[in-house]
Chains A and B, each alone.
Chain A
């Protein structure tokens, strides 16, 4: 058995030694084949993913993903922090959609507490969640196209993404890790520049999408790299637990915003883009159309943005505003209690899921009556979607593996947690 262990060294190993070395437990079909370790330092694995690939020439015979290089024990660490402090760790899971992670966690905690966000808070959450979706899809498109050697798309996408990050900075003070949504509402109301900035974005963004489409949609190189590659049928996609655009690209109409509406998503008028082709190109089409649908939702949300508070009035959960602290002794007590001890959540467990840019992001929270969660678990779409990668890749060329990884849109921070 030969193994490419560096740029120019070839080692002779027995199959048993090889298995012990690679550590993924993958079945090796033939000793004639080559084992290639792809990653973790590989630009097209979108992070620190290592793939063990068994190759017959250029064809993938077998594959096993090896993860954990970014494991930081987020779920364990959250158990030792109060509900509010643990929120900060959720941003770092899926670092391309920090607001989406905040939303899943915050809504699970709110469900556990039995409270509901205010009407204005809900609409602002919808706007920011959809902007995050567009932002995440832009990074996906940029890197996916870059993997398949369309470099200019990358530069254009990052230009628009930067605009959105400026909007997030305006709102939360941070470009990415905003920790903006809090149990009971959000850090503070959005500034008055926010709505004009989003409206401006909605004005220029459709023409920018048209630019990306002009570069890719009918590009013969793009078509030959994405059409009929990484095919998965709707039934198989359900078997493999795929969610998000990867599932909808195979024709299964499944969107958590529709199936389990949260934040009044059932009152917005939008389509769920579907395709029945089930290949890399179909998933690309679904995500491109999702950006249009997100804009549609944001437009409706801006139209119905009500006045009023963004946080609930319960001072046992949401800290009092600064203005009250100078006048009310009670406000000082609440402030002190919340920032030292935190609020207490009842005993019980809940599961809340949202449609993150990558699929269903679920959050399981168990409270034990104290101020810290007893157990937090994230059902992260990237982790579950990655399971299908060997299935999608078998029989394709190794160059197509790059396209398939891009099309299921994984983020390693979320996989490893």
Chain B
């Protein structure tokens, strides 16, 4: 029995209705779980004597526009004891509701969640430190979403110099 089925069995035993889907792709297993059990499952993964996924390495969000649920939040865990890797995935429909924070379990989590909030706009309930990190404080929107335009600079020619210049964004004083 590989470590991966081991993880799934453990979660299934503790929370029978938590697992929504299990995806195997290129030797990586993704356990899609229900967001409301996230904190409890992660605590199980971290504190269980045989699993010991004690290293939260990354949180990254993905946008599946126009599918529903639209957003996915991936959590990547390592175990420094058993060298195992597992990915938990929570599907999020309403980004304002978002998912629960992991800040109480890992101190780095608030920092990782800040990036996700800034660029993808997914709220983490219980994380009081969410703020604009990469972007200016007065920035509108979340650029990594699929409905956010890539943007480009409009070229000014002599015949429309003033017209284009007027609608170009200028830095605020």
Contact = CB atoms under 8 A, between A and B. Distances in A.
Please say whether chains A and B are actual partners in one complex. Answer: yes
Interface of A: 23-25, 67-68, 71, 73, 75-77, 79-80, 111-112, 114, 238-241, 243, 252-254, 259-260, 348-351, 353, 360, 362, 364, 366, 374-375, 377, 379, 383-384, 386-388, 391, 416-417
Interface stretch (B4-12, B33-41, B107-115, B155-163): B107-115
A79 B58 CA distance: 20
Given A112-B26, A241-B106, A259 B57 contact: no
B63 to A, nearest CB: 7
Contacts of A260: 83, 85
Contact of A239 (B63, B76, B108): B108
Nearest to B110: A387
Interface string B75-90: 0101010010101000
Contacts of A77: 150
A387 B113 CA distance: 12
A375 B60 CA distance: 10
Contacts of B164: none
Nearest to B28: A350
Contacts of B42: none
B137 interface: yes
B7 to A, nearest CB: 16
Interface of B: 25-26, 28, 30, 54-58, 60, 62-63, 74, 76, 78, 80, 83, 85, 87, 106-108, 111-112, 115, 119, 129, 131-137, 143-144, 148, 150
A252 B25 CA distance: 30
Contacts of B136: 68
A364 B133 contact: no
B76 A362 contact: yes
Main secondary structure of the interface of A (DSSP, over half): mixed
B118 to A, nearest CB: 8
Given A75-B144, A384-B112, A379 B83 contact: no
Interface centre among A73, A377, A383, A391 (most CB of B within 10 A): A377
B25 A240 contact: no
27 contacts: A23-B132, A67-B134, A68-B133, A68-B135, A73-B143, A77-B150, A79-B150, A80-B150, A239-B108, A241-B57, A241-B112, A253-B80, A254-B80, A260-B85, A348-B25, A348-B26, A349-B25, A350-B26, A351-B87, A377-B60, A377-B62, A379-B60, A384-B111, A388-B108, A391-B107, A416-B134, A417-B134
Contacts of A25: 129, 131
A238 B25 CA distance: 28
Contacts of A383: 115
Nearest to A353: B57
A238 B144 CA distance: 28
Nearest to A386: B111
A291 to B, nearest CB: 24
A241 B26 contact: no
Contacts of A379: 57-58, 60, 76
Contacts of B30: 349
A239 B107 contact: yes
B151 to A, nearest CB: 9
